[in-house]
Each structure stands twice: as C-alpha cells, then as structure tokens.
C-alpha cells in the first residue's frame, strides 16, 4: 500500500496529507498518460508496418519489371480498385543553407546598388523580406528560393542565384504516409487524421 506521494519538489508527502482533489488529479493524469503512451506505441508500430508493406509491394513491382532495387524513394500514391481510398507517401527533405548564402546576399546587395536608380521597389521589398531572419536567426526557405523565380538579367544576380543553389544542403529526410477516402468518385477526398492534435 502506498504511504507517501512525491510532490513537484521531489519531497515525499504522507498520503493522508495530500488533498483528495490532488490525489484524483494525479490518478487521472496517470490514467490518461498510460492510454496516450499505449496509443503512441500503436501508431509508431502502425507507421513502421505501413512503410514495410509499401516497400514490399514496391519490391514486387520492381521484380516484375526487372528493376534493380535501390535508389531514392520518391512520392507515390496507392489507390484502391474502386477509387474510393488512397494512400499517399511523401518524402520531404529538410534544407539548410550554408555560408554561400551570405555571398549571395552580398552579390544581390551589389546588384541593387548598381541599379539603384532603376530597381523596382517591389523587387527590393521581396529581397529584403527573403533575407529577414526569425527569432531563432533562421531565414525562410520559401522566401529565399522564391528569389530564383525573379527574371532579372544581370550577371551578379545570376551569380547570386548560383550561390543560393550551392548553399543548399539536405540535412534530413522524412517520409510521411497519409490516408484519404471519399464516398463516391465525384466526392472530394477526406483525410483520415492520425495526428492527435488535429483530431
């Protein structure tokens, strides 16, 4: 039988000195945490099993068409025969920028100075926004890559875009599996949410 409970300071407190509502709260947290831990383990197992099954299916297809196994896995969609259920596998690369990005910024600054009289204010705003950093000191990847879509005929600008390309490094790769279903072929797809926070 439990005679003491540990409080948030690490002290042992006799059970009879703990308020009934605090005991109930402690029991509720333990119960919910136990269920959450079990669900987490089940989701972890399901995710691993799903990727194993998908890999096995792709291996069968590779064997059928004589393709040697190997190479980077890409995005793919698997669909049920009736067209009402689908599974999407997506591969997302985590990108970081190396020191070449600072060189790119310097080249862009020089390019802007050289054309200071005729630089479109919108382009200037886009450039400044692209290199703005967040609270953690990181630039927004989408904003930086968006600069490459600007059609600017200038040698320094071209060099800057090459420096941006050279600065990109894949630092992580994650695979996601998502599930969708619809009631008929004309209905929109609805996702089966496995993200606890989004349910």
% of the chain beyond a pLDDT of 70: 92
pLDDT value at residue 173:
85
What average pLDDT does this structure show over 23-48?
94
66-118: per-residue pLDDT in tens? 875 554 567 899 999 999 999 999 888 888 899 999 899 888 888 877 776 66
Q: Does residue 125 carry a pLDDT above 90? A: no
Kindly tell me if the per-residue pLDDT of 199 is higher than 60. Answer: no
SS3 52: helix
Question: For 44-55, what is the mean pLDDT?
Answer: 91
Predicted confidence (pLDDT) at residue 197 exceeds the cutoff of 70: no
Residue 56 scores a pLDDT above 50: yes
- How many whole angstroms separate alpha carbon 175 and alpha carbon 131? 29
Instruction: In whole angstroms, give the CA distance from residue 78 to residue 87.
Output: 5
**What whole-number distance in Å separates Cα of residue 136 and Cα of residue 130?**
15
Count CA atoms within 13 Å of residue 164 on its CB side: 25
Query: Which residue, 185, 129, 120, 176, is CA-closest to 151?
Result: 120
Distance of CA 196 to the CA centre of its chain: 16
> Which has the higher per-residue pLDDT, 187 or 108?
187
pLDDT digits 0-9 by tens, 127-165: 888 888 777 777 888 888 888 888 888 888 889 999 999
């Amino acid at each position: 039988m439990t005679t003491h409970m540990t409080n948030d300071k690490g002290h042992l407190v006799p059970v009879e000195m703990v308020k009934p509502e605090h005991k109930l709260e402690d029991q509720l947290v333990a119960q919910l945490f136990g269920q959450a831990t079990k669900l987490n383990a089940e989701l972890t197992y399901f995710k691993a099993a799903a990727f194993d099954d998908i890999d096995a299916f792709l291996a069968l297809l590779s064997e059928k068409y004589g393709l040697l196994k190997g190479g980077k896995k890409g995005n793919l969609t698997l669909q049920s025969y009736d067209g009402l259920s689908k599974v999407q596998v997506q591969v997302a690369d985590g990108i970081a920028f190396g020191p070449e990005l600072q060189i790119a910024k310097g080249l862009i600054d020089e390019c802007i100075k050289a054309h200071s009289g005729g630089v479109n204010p919108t382009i200037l705003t886009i450039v400044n926004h692209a290199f703005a950093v967040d609270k953690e000191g990181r630039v927004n990847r989408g904003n930086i890559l968006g600069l490459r879509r600007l059609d600017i005929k200038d040698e320094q600008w071209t060099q800057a875009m090459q420096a941006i390309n050279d600065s990109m490094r894949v630092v992580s790769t994650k695979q996601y599996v998502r599930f969708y279903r619809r009631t008929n072929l004309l209905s929109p797809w609805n996702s089966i949410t496995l993200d606890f926070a989004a349910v």
